[in-house]
Chain A
Amino acid sequence: MVDVEELLKALADPTRAVILDELVEHTGQTLFEICNRLSSRHGINPSRQAISQHLQVLEAAGLVRSERSGRYKFHYVDTAPLLRITERWPNAGRQDSTREADGIGGTTDPGVPRAGALPASKGKKP
């Protein structure tokens, strides 16, 4: 199991955060699609190798999983490990009284950063 420090390190990079944003919008992307999304939507243009290394860091942290399907390799997002951050630092001292009032503990709030901040499934019409 990945420790929380490794998770935080994986998140503490703006490019990796954007990769997660894009994979949350559409999970199951090739390296080519990820590179194009970063370049065309965010003006982020590192080399393909650099993106590949970012994906390896995210994979080591358990936030991205890559799967070979026939001749292609796809990358899938998995935000479940983020729960461990709020498990370690539950919402003690939190100002948000409504949360405490309805008894929701920190463990049910994954606090996924920016998930849903982007328009849902653009370009993925059925």
Chain B
Amino acid sequence: MRINLASVLVSDQAKALEFYTTKLGFVKKNEVPMGEVSWLTVVSPEDPDGVELVLEPDSHPAVRPFLDALVADGIPFTSFAVADVQAEYERLVGLGVQFTQPPTAMGPVTTAVFDDTCGNLIQIAAMVQAPGE
């Protein structure tokens, strides 16, 4: 068994594809129309055959209250690894991305949290020191 997919629940798939590709820099992997929505995934260009992120419609009525409660408390839905949180923060702020937490040292990791404009907060994180150093 292995993990090949992870999901984020998005309010608008087209808007999400735009954000996750043009701002975050992921690339579209699969887009299969399924009626009003699509099976839509992106991957990191650093790992094109790696885990796919599914941009999944948030149409179930339970999703909005759930995500609203997480967002109100600043809790990210998921986290992506970056080499340099400060550099990525500056790049994304330059693209108009809004952060709820600027880069902050949290023990062995530095983290920051931004809004994906489609209903979620997302964390970026980097180990301050590579493991084993």
The residues of A with any CB-CB pair to B shorter than 8 Å are 26, 29-33, 36-37, 39-41, 48, 68, 71-74, 122-125
Q: C-beta contact mask, B50-76 vs A, less than 8 Å → 1, else 0?
A: 000000000000000000100111111
B102 touches A32 (CB 8 A): no
CB distance from B75 to the nearest CB of A (A): 5
Report chain B residues within 8 Å CB of A33.
74, 100-101, 104, 113
A122 touching B105 in the complex, CB below 8 Å, given contacts A30-B100, A72-B100:
yes
A123 touching B103 in the complex, CB below 8 Å, given contacts A32-B113, A36-B111, A71-B68:
yes
A123 touches B72 (CB 8 A): no
A32 touching B106 in the complex, CB below 8 Å, given contacts A71-B68, A125-B86:
no
Report chain A residues within 8 Å CB of B76.
32
B107 close to chain A: CB less than 8 A: yes
CB distance from A42 to the nearest CB of B (A): 10
CB distance from B4 to the nearest CB of A (A): 28
Contacting residues of chain B (108-132) with chain A, CB-CB under 8 angstroms: 108-111, 113, 115
> A123 contacts which of B75, B105, B108 (Cβ < 8 Å)?
B105
> B74 contacts which of A30, A41, A123, A124 (Cβ < 8 Å)?
A30
Report chain A residues within 8 Å CB of B100.
30, 33, 72, 74
B102 touches A124 (CB 8 A): yes
